Chain A
Amino acid sequence: MIDTVPPAAIFIVGGLLVPLIHGKWKSAFLLLIPVVGFINLIHIPEGTHWVVRFLDYDLIFGKIDRLSLLFGYIFHLITFISLLYALHVKDDLQHVAGLIYAGSSLGVVFAGDLFSFFVFWEMLTVSSVMLIWSRRTRASVAAGYRYILVHAAGGLCLLAGIVLYVNQTGSIEFGYIGLNGLASYLIFFGFGLNCAWPILHPWLTDAYPEATITGVIFLSAFTTKTAVYALARAFPGTEALIWIGAIMTGFPIFYAVIENDLRRVLAYSLINQVGFMVCGIGIGTALAMNGAVAHAFNDILFKALLFMSMGAVMYRTGKINGTALGGLYRTMPLTCIFCMVGAASISAFPLFSGFVSKSMVMDAAAQGHMKIIWFILLFASAGVFHHAGIKIPFFAFFGHDSGMRPKEAPLNMLLAMGITAFLCIFIGSFPRPLYSLLPYPVDYVPYTAPHVLGQTQLLFFSALAFTLLLLSGIYPGEQRCVNLDADWFYRKGARLFYHIMDKVFNGLSRLLDRVFVGGLAGYLGRISRDGPTIAALLCMVPAWVISGTTGEKLARRKAIVRTAMRTGASPVGISAAMATVFLLIVFLLM
């Protein structure tokens, strides 16, 4: 029996050690981390481990059950693939950030208490933003700031929910929560933001396409899938999720059709795929839950594969807009083939991975007699083939000839894509191993004649629609433009807020400056400087006049008094005289 450690620790400590290792050993060390992590993981028995007493609560760093284990396996696998894909990167910051990000995700899925859950949840944001900033362009810096601000808001919401929840229940255990009361709604909303729910989603489509070529592979895998895990753990069978998920599958495909940046197209299709998972969690039956987590597993692979193929194109050509690409199959045939495997998988072609998991969610909706939901999901299935399945490979590798003849992707990228492509086909063709890992027993058979035929018809005829629309010129051409999305509200809203704050507070500041600094302070200064002089003269001048002092002599005396009062060197006699006068007045008045 091996002594095991919390899975997150291996990644985080390993990540922090990366900068200390140099030369050719660095690559080996990077790849070793997920391998060691995986060996550690398979030796952890199910149950609760690493309980640490903190204040009056128990922190649990290892809640190991079938649900968390499945996410644990895929997170290890995708970290290995992402690191292999990124081996050529010389920037240590990206490796460290990627590993801490992966470690935090493992921390989240194995957390048995809300406190450590929240800490790892926030570490996700902080580490992942480095993968966006590492691109070091003006756009990526700005997008990174927006990303972190949105997540900070979501994190605060989650924290407020957790504090209320712990206050109500007296326990920090992380398990089923369910929607009842403000605390649970705040937690629900906090999860939903990371899950890229509609309207809360633009952080994803805004920031992911601005991340580094290799960073986006990490990004596509972790944040949304940990949120899916959290929803599956805390809110299974919540009806609102069915509709939220259905909308998520539907609306992004419209954006994806008119989007020019191909990585942004993939970001939209990421939301679309997460929609299937959210919907499955909302339905909440054993079949639906199995479908949701199996689809999370598969989506991590095929979405990474698609992002990797687009990353390879970007790495070789420096371009990612559909308008600038085309015809690359000539010199990047392997990348092209891998991209098409990813495209077939996300489109749920029979024998590819999406087919064996997405259909579970669809079937669960059908078994629950959810007609409208089923129609939306079917529409989204056809639509995803349209934008991710055909558009991505077509505009990058076929379509018009861009004239570019870039070299094939580097070996490490090809290997990473090759492994992922193999897994996509393997899982699609032999789903049993994946099914055996799912949280509930599976008695689902994806390969039935009507199912295979129906799905193939759906996809082929949407391909026909694409072909005819393209040939007839109706298909919307790629255009260099920005498409407004819900981020408009905070991107323009922030400017409006800035403008209003500028006008109100700086205006107030200017007004107060005029009144107090320019006016009142000077006035008080003059009073305190000249007041005693005036008072002294008022007392003295009548006395001098009575005693017959006039003309030049009087003027000279006045000047002496002024100088004396201003320099604080007035003769004691004057003060004494003034005091006497004061006492006399008091005496007379009494």
Chain B
Amino acid sequence: MKEKTRGEKEYLFDKPKNVNILLGCFFSSLVVLLIFELFVHKHPHFPWEEWLEFYAVYGFVACVALVVAAKYILRPLVKRREDYYD
């Protein structure tokens, strides 16, 4: 998001400040979501849905596991040169 060249128009995320604002909003919304949960009455199907911040933790862990498995297990197994089938 750098590379401003030769008087080119500056776009929204060309300014690091805007990126930081975006990230700031994102991180604070995470905190708000965590706090909200304390005030919501749940009616779960499974017992673990009642655990505090279950969905937040599951979402985070699932995605880290997904990326780690894809990068360190799947990619070494299946990656071939682009002309593999030619």
Interface string of B17-51 (1 = CB under 8 A from A): 00000010010011001101100111111100100
CA distance A403 to B55 in the complex (A): 39
Contact B64 A465 (CB under 8 A): yes
Q: How far is the CB of B83 from chain A (nearest CB, A)?
A: 8
- A257 interface residue, CB < 8 Å from B? yes
Listed from nearest, the 10 A-B pairs whose CB atoms lie closest are A465-B63, A366-B45, A461-B59, A458-B59, A257-B70, A476-B71, A462-B63, A484-B78, A457-B55, A461-B60
**Additional pairs, 11, CB under 8 Å, beyond known A258-B78, A484-B84:** A254-B74, A378-B58, A378-B62, A379-B66, A382-B59, A460-B33, A461-B55, A475-B71, A481-B80, A483-B74, A483-B78
**Which residues from chain A contact B53 at a C-beta distance below 8 Å?**
457
Interface string of A10-41 (1 = CB under 8 A from B): 00000000000000000000000000000000
- A454 interface residue, CB < 8 Å from B? yes
**Which residues from chain A contact B78 at a C-beta distance below 8 Å?**
255, 258, 483-485
CA distance A481 to B42 in the complex (A): 46
A431-478 interface with B by 8 A CB criterion:
448-450, 453-467, 469, 474-476
- B75 interface residue, CB < 8 Å from A? yes
**Which residues from chain A contact B81 at a C-beta distance below 8 Å?**
481-482
**Residue from A366, A400, A476, A491 within 8 A of B75 (CB atoms):** A476
CA distance A462 to B40 in the complex (A): 21
Q: How far is the CB of B74 from chain A (nearest CB, A)?
A: 5
CA distance A15 to B2 in the complex (A): 49
Q: How far is the CB of A159 from chain B (nearest CB, A)?
A: 30
Contact B37 A474 (CB under 8 A): no
CA distance A459 to B62 in the complex (A): 11
Given contacts A257-B70, A449-B41, A450-B41, contact A480 B82 (CB under 8 A): yes
Interface string of A311-325 (1 = CB under 8 A from B): 000000000000000
State the B residues within 8 Å of A (CB): 1-3, 9, 11-13, 23, 26, 29-30, 33-34, 36-37, 40-46, 49, 53-60, 62-64, 66-71, 74-75, 77-82, 84-85
A363-383 interface with B by 8 A CB criterion:
363, 366-367, 369, 371, 374, 378-379, 382-383
Residue of B nearest to A469 (CB): B67
CA distance A480 to B3 in the complex (A): 24
Contact A398 B62 (CB under 8 A): no
CA distance A473 to B40 in the complex (A): 36
Contact A329 B11 (CB under 8 A): yes
How big is chain A's contact interface, by range? 35 or more
**Which residues from chain A contact B62 at a C-beta distance below 8 Å?**
378-379, 382-383, 462
Contact B70 A476 (CB under 8 A): yes
What are 27 of the A-B contact pairs (CB < 8 Å)? A255-B78, A257-B66, A257-B70, A258-B71, A258-B74, A382-B62, A382-B63, A386-B67, A398-B13, A401-B1, A401-B2, A401-B3, A448-B43, A453-B55, A456-B33, A457-B37, A457-B56, A458-B59, A459-B59, A460-B33, A461-B57, A461-B59, A461-B63, A462-B60, A467-B23, A469-B63, A484-B79
Residue of A nearest to B54 (CB): A454
A246-268 interface with B by 8 A CB criterion:
253-255, 257-258
**Which residues from chain A contact B56 at a C-beta distance below 8 Å?**
457-458, 460-461
Given contacts A258-B70, A386-B66, A476-B67, contact A483 B45 (CB under 8 A): no
- A327 interface residue, CB < 8 Å from B? yes
A322-353 interface with B by 8 A CB criterion:
327, 329-330
Contact A450 B80 (CB under 8 A): no
CA distance A469 to B65 in the complex (A): 11
CA distance A253 to B69 in the complex (A): 11
CA distance A62 to B2 in the complex (A): 59
CA distance A374 to B54 in the complex (A): 14
Given contacts A258-B75, A329-B11, A480-B82, contact A460 B45 (CB under 8 A): no
